Amino acid sequence: MAITQLKAKQIQPDLSYISELRNKTNNSISLASEKSEHLLMWQPRLASALALLCPPQRVCYSPRFMLLKAPESELFFDLLRQAIKSDLSSPSLGYSYFFSESKITLTNAKSKQDNFAAQDNCLFASSVDSEKLLGCVRQPENSPIKLQAGLVHRANGGILILGLRSLLSQPLLWSKLKQMVIKQEFEWVSADESHPLPLSIPPMPLDLRIILVGDRLSLAELQDLEPEFYSTSIYTEFENELPVKSPEQIEHWINYLKFIANKQQLPNIDTLAFAKIYKEATRYTGDQHYLPLSVDWINSLLVNATHFMQNSLIDESAITSAIKQKSWHEDYLKERLLDEIFSHQIMINTKDQVVGQINGLSVIEYPGYPKVIGEPTRLSCLLHFGDGELIDIERKTELAGNIHSKGMMIMQAFIMSEFAFNHQLPFSTSLVFEQSYSEIDGDSASLAGLCAIISALSQQPIDQQLAVTGSVDQFGHVQSIGGVNEKIEGFFTVCKHQGLTGQQGVIIPATNQRHLSLSDEMIEAIEQEKFSVWTVEHIADALYLLTGIPYKDKSGINLYQLIHARMQSLLLQDKKQDSWLSKWQKYCKK
């Protein structure tokens, strides 16, 4: 068997790296020179793509568009602009329009004060409209015509960073921008087709590189709109996470935190605070071996911590208080759901032993709510005479999604391969998520469901002090699931309210151990042996923990033998009934 009871240090990220770095650097972690810092130091893919977009020597066939999968946030746009500016030369002065009574002429600008002179080599806008992006022609009544510059004019000769979501909502604006950038010429057009321009306005030469920033959905929408556009543009992604394999990479990430704090003019971060930030970071990514590079998440955590500073530093207590306050702000819905269990409106048993019943672990997501909520769910299984069908009540009532249905079919395939190799199963089973009144999806309850079925078949009770999460394949191997921290903490909260027995705990897939970053309260409970976290690799491991009886064991009684013995008894009874019925039918024919 591959059963492991995790210790307190195994349910949280390894913080020894932070201690090693502190000791190595005499309680201070080095930081690169502020002058040499920019966002691209932590984004090698993006830096390489930008080198292709803006080579030292521009040529006519260089790409003019780059698609960047990244968050459309003002902070990210600003940091990206600063990084790009540091590697670009100053743009040419651009152009200027000269107005006479009946004619408009275009000349080279002599200073930045000229009306259409380039203002910067890199500008950004997360949201644009036609006037903001392309400028406009104004002719007040009884007044001379006026031209207003847009972003394309102020960034002429450089790079313009734009939010893709805003452009996609204005297809005509996007089409105009694309054609102008490709033709390298800006043409003035009237905003109202029924009223042409009163004067002929010379077109302006346009030398512009465009970076379109968007999430996966926006990029997919652009791909559907213009599939050929991808073949002529550079595509890259902002790396949201930094893989951690050595103390040097953690030091690299800590420098990133200090870089964000410095750019936002936040107070310095105390060295002792990095361990707490590190743990919260791994919880955010959901993996002990990855740290977040999300500028908005890091900035939010540090800004919130400044409200709890006792001195001029962001220390560990300030980070802890900021995390607790944020959780308290967001936990009203979670507390209301848990109160349904505490008041016995939703029945969860954490102390008895019951045949065919098990505590599964699930997460709930609500639209507009920023977190997932871990909630234990009671699954039950009943056995009756039938033809081997596994009746999924959720699917029968159209309350199950496709992935859930797939998990149920895998469970049925496992049962059939184990017990119906030479004959038809003489019974059917019904499985249901008790007190579930909305659609469910996912296969993370398939391990729990399969254990409930085997308990019902063998008539051996399941210890309700344990809860289970995990998916299974057709061979019974346990596979990873999501939301493991929230699931464990949800069951722990219920157990704590009903009274910790010291025998309560959760069973999770062994492959999910790397995703654990549990709360300090849970760590304390595990250290005091009031609660346990077990990892398993096969359903046989989970069944042994749940029932105390091996699934297959040649040296003694096991669940497999109990099920086969019961099946033989049912088949024998069925055969006797068939024999009696056939004799009666023959007698009647006489």
Active-site positions read 444, 487
Output the CA–CA distances (angstroms, integers) from residue 411 to 232, 270, 416, 431, 508, in the order listed. Answer: 47, 51, 9, 11, 18
Say how far apart CA 295 and CA 70 lie, in whole Å.
Answer: 11
Contact partners, residue 405, CB within 8 Å, separation at least 6: 392, 395
Asked if 362 and 482 count as a contact pair (C-beta separation under 8 A), the reply is no
Tokens standing for 184? 């390298």
435 in Cβ contact with 378 (< 8 Å): yes
What residues pair up with 97 in beta bridges, in sequence order? 106
**Structure tokens that stand for 393 in this block:** 């009540």
Written as six digits, the tokens of 95 are 């152009």
DSSP string, 33-100: -GGG--GGGG-HHHHHHHHHHS-SS--TTS--EEEEES---HHHHHHHHHHHHHHSPPPP-EEEEEE-
Q: How would you class 370 by CB atoms within 10 Å of its CB: exposed for 0-12, middle for 13-18, buried for 19 or more?
A: exposed
Instruction: Determine the Cα–Cα distance for residues 277 and 286; give it in Å rounded to an integer.
Output: 14
Q: How far apart are CA 132 and CA 161, in angstroms?
A: 13
